Structure 1
């Protein structure tokens, strides 16, 4: 689709595609096997697929250094140079054809400059001499990255074989078919949102992007096994958004604003002390003021804020107003914070 500027000049054509990808699902399951992610949506199927994997594949998973702390996301980065979303074999073949330098460069999300990658491949043991980064900011990580670079061929073969084994799994293919309708529904919902591609990508991710480009291609990919997470992969021309489709899609920026408002109410020691006092008993204003050592006017101010947030209930007995905390509302807010994070 093409978009025009106000002066009538056309912007470059931007292509948007919505796909359900067995490649993304296979790689997401690898994340579960490697302990990078645990969620109720993937665990049941991952156990069944695991039972079909060969001993060699399980040994490879067991030897992957968790200390690198990258999980499975590096494998998803290969979708940028190898955008074979529908065909696992074509994806693996494309990845296998990458040079060692390009493989490492993409594996680490283009985080390490290509000239530095080439230097490290020539001499992995020289890594401690390079400037420290988040990829190797501990002795354990440095050792793991050096091992990865020194044994790159073994890791490359192990990853490729593992992805192909998962794709060949009967349980995996049956799971893909069972999730297909859910994924298609999610795609239709995203397609129905009337936004330009970049705005849509930000909506789906639930955040504004600090880094953007004049993307020529946008891919929106629902993933059951990545649920409830959202992942963005991008280079200068392509933006890939992977979103969990097992939960309703929402713009978490709105939820964050609501939580911010609620947390501001809680972010005061006097109000916290009031909630503590009122969680086990009803009290009136003067008693609360005595408990906190503040004026009744200040207590009234705090109570008004807590009432607006739904955290405190008011009950009039005769001419006296009594207050108590709404424990159900307190638990709800704590649960919302936990779920959001």
Structure 2
């Protein structure tokens, strides 16, 4: 149960992972199958993240892909986790998500981040003459809100569709900066603890202490994303996790690769420094049997008191991936 006395919602973050030997088209089909699966299980949201220039991630055209997912599902909320707003003109984002919300009413979320979602060279290619973008993130969020408001109907520049639609905006963060912004704007706050856990607790504290009620939200609302790989046994889950570790090792070494099949052990694959670095950044990962994952997640929600949990799982075998999310739903329903 959440602190509000109701069952804590459970959601999914997906990056349309591209497997070794597969194509982005295969990744899209796998993502849709996952969305349909978790919808039947009772998950609340299915979010996708904007990343660029990564051979293992096919969700770069995030708004386009969200339309594919929403069109193939019936009730689950579909959204961005997130759109990296400095990469885009706020008007274009308002139009894109206004289109999605018009096609799929009451099902679209708009999560916003300030990072580029890529390396600096690619960021420059994305942003062209907006190389300093990111520092004006608060102003961009406000501009986007204005385009989506009904009051904008008298403006010289209007988002059609988008204007006047109820599209919940979330502020995403991996540090304390966005916590201050989400609190000041009275918006829900989602933290990327699945890859940047260091400032999780500080950010949640800041957000809750400084939250100002708004027309959008009367009280603080938090969500944290974690890595979960659940299987029948600890040994099997740990073996599945080696795909994830190899992927992350490629990021550490600057040698990006697609998500590969699991191996028996990471011993001899990464060195002591690399293993320690990965363990630090992936400390909010819960890998193991149902019992192991449940104990870990219970400690996590006890410590963070988040209102909603979001999970991501880099698992090579799609059947194992679907099973992991099925096991997680049972676990989440028992958390207190």
TM-score by length of 1: 0.25
Higher-Rg structure is: 1
Higher-RCO chain (CA-CA 8 Å, sequence separation at least 6): 2
Whichever structure has more helix as a proportion of its residues is: 1
TM-score by length of 2: 0.25
